[in-house]
Structure 1
């Protein structure tokens, strides 16, 4: 009888568990891209981004809303930043933000292995699958709150968003996205 009571209490605790919201920490959230450049790799990042993640590990569900300020592109080379902000690439004058939204978290056991969503970039929206390289939650002793975070990656085809500059001259269509996120429970 005691075991049955404990099992019922444990089950009711799981049923009562609710999704928590984690605001993304801009100091520990990074959106980076890589693209081959003949004999090396061009890299860049976006310095301003904001968003939140709703996460319920018991129900194995989640939701992501991430907005990226495209004016904050930083390759370390000012003329290259300007070129990427122009109409041939991100066209930041007309489309100053990009947005990733997702509500499909894929689990293997109790681990997040993939987040499937939509990336809106240059006014076009296409599906993107982010592979979780790692993802975990823990009680941050310094903040005295739970934090969740991880590293994700995807390879996208830039021509799906209309960015075709240089493809006819041998520049690659594929680019790699690396996304590091850390969110603080609210």
Structure 2
């Protein structure tokens, strides 16, 4: 009787205890990661540029469908294809690269619908201010990277933000729109 009670107690404790593995850490691959923006230019065209220097990490627990993201972008890495335009983008009235050399996106949550990652809600720090931004996932996948010989996870994400929330008000009074479409192409290697 005593042996049976001990076995039942041990089984109950084992069933009641859920073991969670630590999330894996993935380091951003700078060769496959960049951020872009697009903004209407007075209804005539769309100005586009990208930021090429992106670093950071992702924590990801596939089984729990949970994770976190911490990405830093170097503002001076902006590239539009036009050196004078790049210099203007870094000026005090826009990204103010001298005073605010980085942008940062931090998220403590990944949102899944079934097995599909749908969004990454987080906080975007830009021009010394931090406000919520939710990146919508247009695609996401993990795969064994044949060159790095480790698992890689990555995807494409986008959001539309009101730039004036961060104090970027240049040319709004002249008819330039507030809304900017931002995209992030991210790949990261398991550490």
TM-score of the alignment, normalized to the shorter chain, above 0.5: yes
Unaligned runs of 5+ in 1: 1-10
Match of residue 171, structure 1, among 169, 173, 176: 176
**Counterpart position of 1:3:** none
> Greater CA deviation, 147-156 or 137-146?
137-146
Contact 1:151–1:180, Cα closer than 8 Å, also in 2: yes
After the TM superposition, which segments of 4 or more aligned residues of structure 1 sit over 6 Å from their partners? none
Query: Partner of 2:35 in structure 1?
Result: 31
RMSD: 1.4
Alpha-carbon distance in 2 for matches of 1:160, 1:121: 10
Secondary structure in structure 2 of the residue aligned to 1:31:
strand
Give the SS at the match of 2:157. Answer: strand
Q: CA deviation at 1:28?
A: 0.2
Query: Does the CA contact (< 8 Å) of 1:57 and 1:110 recur in 2?
Result: no
Local SS of the residue matching 2:19: helix
**Alignment partners' CA distance in 2, 1:125 and 1:138:** 33
TM-score normalised per structure 1: 0.90
1:180 paired with 2:185, answer yes
Distance in 2 between residues matched to 1:47 and 1:77, nearest whole Å: 15
2:162–2:179 CA contact under 8 A, matched in 1: yes
85-94 vs 116-125, greater mean Cα deviation? 85-94
The answer to whether the 8 Å contact 2:33/2:52 transfers is no
Shift of 1:72: 1.0
CA distance in 2, matches of 1:70, 1:142: 29
Q: Structure 2 matches for 1:5-24, cutoff 5 A?
A: 15-24=19-28
Alignment correspondent of 2:115: 110
Q: For 1:63 and 1:16, how far apart are their aligned partners in 2?
A: 16
Q: How does 1:147-162 map to 2 (within 5 A)?
A: 147-162=152-167
Alignment size in residue pairs: 174
**1:133 corresponds to which residue?**
138
Deviation at 1:144, TM superposition (A): 1.8
Alpha-carbon distance, 1:16 to partner:
4.5
Deviation at 1:82, TM superposition (A): 1.3
Q: CA deviation at 1:17?
A: 3.1
Specify every segment of 5 or more residues in structure 2 that has no aligned partner in the other structure, as ranges.
Answer: 1-14
Aligned to 1:92: 97
> 1:78, 1:123 → 2: CA distance?
25
Alignment match, 1:72: 77
